[in-house]
């Protein structure tokens, strides 16, 4: 009875597994791109980095907000004397405070004390420090804030760059699948033609019109076609896994990639002029924009701060305090805050003159060298980007011409094979000539397929170089 129940349970589990098994996910190229925009690990990672960078920017802005503090201390003490008596005392102190740093470098600190022992005598103290030379001005004081703003912009650009790269990778991987599928079709057609040649050769041999050795040649064609077809299937599987990895999906995910019209996809792209290509390249390249921001931002500010650190330190200092009296009487408690005897004010200048500060001089020289090197690197990068734009544009133009030649050659090879097959049927040529025509037709078809895919990839790559990928595929840069 137990065995019957166990078998029944297993059958039920199998039934539910089959009934509720996941249907294969059907993805078009557009759907694969949209899925990658949401789920690709690289895209998610740069978005997390942007979230962290936004918080870092907030921290630098918060540095110029009022900062509050609160300290509290309480205690109990007991002390004996020679009469064997104990004297108990309690005390507590609450110290609130507020400080502020202004964009011009002014530091303001207001602190209060509330000491309570036997008597209560609160106190207030105010300190204002204003740098007059070193550390003065928004350009120096807000250096960290400006660097954080630049980093936030760079992080935002990084999201856009990652999206462009991911989409381009997906398109190329999808095209690899298309090429693998079309290659299978070409080689499958070649296998059918070879098998048809074998059947026809057998009829010729049977009728005594061909020698038996003719069969070996055409059967070799069949074996070769089968080998190529098997390799093509393996290449297709690898291309599918590569696309899943580009999207950011588990390789075990059941997915069916729908076919699409290559010519329609080619029509999606438009070739700009060469001058416009170079202009768009320099305007939209993520790395070039990032390096420009870094050069005119943190690198230039490093030199500014280094020069500032060589200056004399001259601070205008104001101190004022009131309260903190002692004992009781009419001026204890809050009255002590208004008692002139507990009030004090001071105003002064603090001067610090660095003498032969070689470390500060070294920092200035290092900052100048770093700035000059960054300028030279940016100039070289500009030339490199323009070269890439020119090469990308020329590649598209050349690939378009090659596609036209390949299409013409493929059409001519089709006619040639048809003529040779008719000659073979009438005994005008042998199987070796037919085999040659078969190989040439396969090569022409493969060349046409490769030329069409290469032309499309050239368009995709140029679209990536000029920064139009997201616009072409209607993808918005979501920052969270």
Could you tell me the sign of the dihedral formed by the alpha carbons of 8, 10, 15, 20, in that order? positive
- Residue 312 contacts residue 353 (beta carbons within 8 Å): yes
Please enumerate in sequence order all residues whose Cβ is within 8 A of that of 85, keeping only pairs 6 or more positions apart, or say none. none
150-170 pLDDT tens trace: 999 999 999 999 999 999 999
Distance CA 264, CA 262 (A): 5
- Residue 371 contacts residue 300 (beta carbons within 8 Å): yes
Label the pairing between strands 255-257 and 25-27. Answer: parallel
Distance CA 287, CA 400 (A): 29
Tokens of 169: 């990778």
312-364 pLDDT tens trace: 999 999 999 988 777 666 667 777 777 777 789 999 999 999 888 999 999 99
- Residue 159 contacts residue 50 (beta carbons within 8 Å): yes
Instruction: For the full predicted model, state whether its pTM sits above 0.85.
Output: no
Distance CA 194, CA 123 (A): 104
Could you tell me the sign of the dihedral formed by the alpha carbons of 431, 435, 437, 441, in that order? positive
- SS3 per-residue string spanning the chain: CHHHHHHHHHHHHHHHHHHCCCCCEEECHHHHHHHHHHHCHHHHHHHHHHHHHHHHHHHHHHCCCCEEEEEEEEEEEEEECCCCCEEEEEEEEEEEEEEEECCCCCEEEEEEEEEECCCEEEEEEEEEEEECCCCCCHHHHCHHHHHHHHHHHHHHHHHHHHHHHHHHHHHHHHHHHHHHHHHHHHHHHHHHHHHHHHHHHHHHHHHCCCCCCHHHHHHHHHHHHHHHHHHHHHHHHHHHHHHHHHHCCCCCCCEEECCCCHHHHHHCCCCCCHHHHHHHHHHHCHHHHHHHHHHHHHHHHHHHHHHHCCCCEEEEEEEEEEECCCCCCCCCHHHHHHCHHHCEEEEEEEEECCCCCHHHHHHHHHHHHHHHHHHHHHHHHHHHHHHHHHHHHHHHHHHHHHHHHHHHHHHHHHHHHHHHHHHHHCCCCCHHHHHHHHHHHHHHHHHHHHHHHHHHHHHHHHHHHCCCHHHHCCCCCCCC
Strand-pair partners of 443: none
Q: Tally the C-alpha atoms within 13 A of residue 472's C-alpha that lie toward its C-beta.
A: 25
| Residue ranges covered by each domain of the chain | 25-64+142-311+358-472, 69-136+313-352
- Residue 121 contacts residue 329 (beta carbons within 8 Å): no
182-232 pLDDT tens trace: 888 888 887 887 787 777 777 767 766 666 666 777 777 788 888 888 898
Distance CA 307, CA 373 (A): 18
Burial of 183 (0-12, 13-18, 19+ CB in 10 A): buried
pLDDT in tens, the chain (480 residues): 444 343 344 334 333 343 334 577 788 888 889 989 988 999 999 999 999 999 999 999 999 999 999 988 877 766 655 665 556 667 788 889 999 999 999 999 999 988 877 778 888 999 999 999 999 999 999 999 999 999 999 999 999 999 999 999 999 999 998 888 888 888 888 788 778 777 777 776 776 666 666 677 777 778 888 888 889 889 988 988 998 898 888 888 888 887 777 888 888 899 999 999 999 999 999 999 999 999 999 999 999 999 999 999 999 999 999 887 776 666 677 777 777 777 899 999 999 998 889 999 999 999 999 999 999 999 999 999 999 999 999 999 999 999 999 999 989 988 988 888 888 777 777 767 777 787 788 888 888 988 999 999 999 999 999 999 999 999 888 776
Buried b (16+ CB within 10 A) or exposed e, 26-41: ebebeebbbbbbeebe
Q: What Å distances lie between residue 10 and 2, 4, 381, CA to CA?
A: 12, 10, 66
Domain 25-64+142-311+358-472 -> CATH class: mainly alpha
């Amino acid at each position: 009875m137990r065995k019957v129940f166990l078998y029944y349970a297993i059958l039920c589990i199998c039934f539910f597994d089959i009934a509720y098994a996941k249907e294969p996910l059907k993805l078009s190229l557009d759907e694969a791109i949209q899925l990658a925009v949401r789920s690709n690990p690289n895209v998610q990672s740069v978005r997390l980095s942007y979230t962290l960078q936004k918080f870092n920017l907030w921290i630098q802005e918060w540095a110029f907000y009022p900062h509050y503090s609160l300290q509290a201390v309480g205690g109990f003490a007991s002390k004996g004397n020679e009469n064997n008596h104990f004297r108990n005392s309690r005390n507590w102190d609450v110290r609130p405070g507020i400080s502020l740093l202004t964009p011009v470098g002014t530091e303001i600190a207001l602190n209060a004390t509330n000491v309570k022992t036997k008597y209560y005598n609160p106190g207030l103290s105010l300190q204002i420090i204003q740098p007059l030379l070193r550390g003065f001005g928004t350009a120096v004081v807000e250096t960290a804030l400006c660097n954080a703003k630049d980093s936030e912009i760079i992080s935002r650009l990084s999201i856009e760059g990652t999206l462009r790269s991911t989409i381009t990778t997906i398109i190329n991987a999808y095209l690899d699948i298309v090429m693998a599928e079309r290659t299978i079709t070409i080689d499958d057609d070649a296998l059918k033609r070879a098998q048809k040649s074998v059947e026809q050769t057998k009829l010729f041999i049977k009728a005594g019109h061909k020698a038996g050795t003719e069969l070996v040649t055409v059967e070799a064609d069949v074996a070769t076609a089968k080998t190529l077809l098997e390799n093509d299937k393996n290449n297709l599987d690898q291309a599918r896994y590569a696309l899943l990895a580009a999207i950011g999906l588990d390789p075990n995910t059941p997915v069916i990639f729908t076919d699409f019209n290559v010519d329609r996809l080619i029509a999606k792209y438009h070739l700009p002029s060469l001058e416009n290509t170079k202009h768009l390249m320099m305007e939209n390249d993520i790395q070039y924009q990032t390096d420009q921001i870094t050069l005119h931002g943190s690198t230039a500010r490093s030199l500014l701060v280094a020069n500032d650190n060589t200056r004399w330190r001259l601070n205008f200092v104001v101190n004022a305090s009131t309260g903190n009296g002692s004992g009781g009487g009419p001026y204890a408690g809050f009255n002590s805050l208004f008692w002139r005897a507990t009030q004090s004010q001071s105003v002064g200048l603090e001067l610090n003159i660095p003498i032969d500060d070689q470390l500060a001089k070294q920092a200035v020289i290092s900052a100048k060298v770093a700035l000059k090197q960054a300028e030279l690197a940016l100039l070289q990068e500009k030339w490199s980007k323009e070269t890439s734009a020119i090469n990308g544009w020329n590649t598209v133009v050349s690939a378009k011409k090659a596609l036209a030649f390949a299409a013409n050659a493929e059409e001519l090879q089709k006619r040639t094979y048809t003529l040779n097959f008719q000659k073979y049927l009438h005994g005008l040529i042998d199987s070796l000539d037919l085999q040659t025509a078969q190989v040439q037709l396969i090569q022409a078809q493969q060349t046409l397929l490769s030329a069409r895919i290469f032309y499309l990839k050239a368009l995709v790559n140029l679209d990536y170089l000029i920064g139009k990928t997201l616009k072409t595929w209607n993808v918005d840069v979501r920052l969270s």
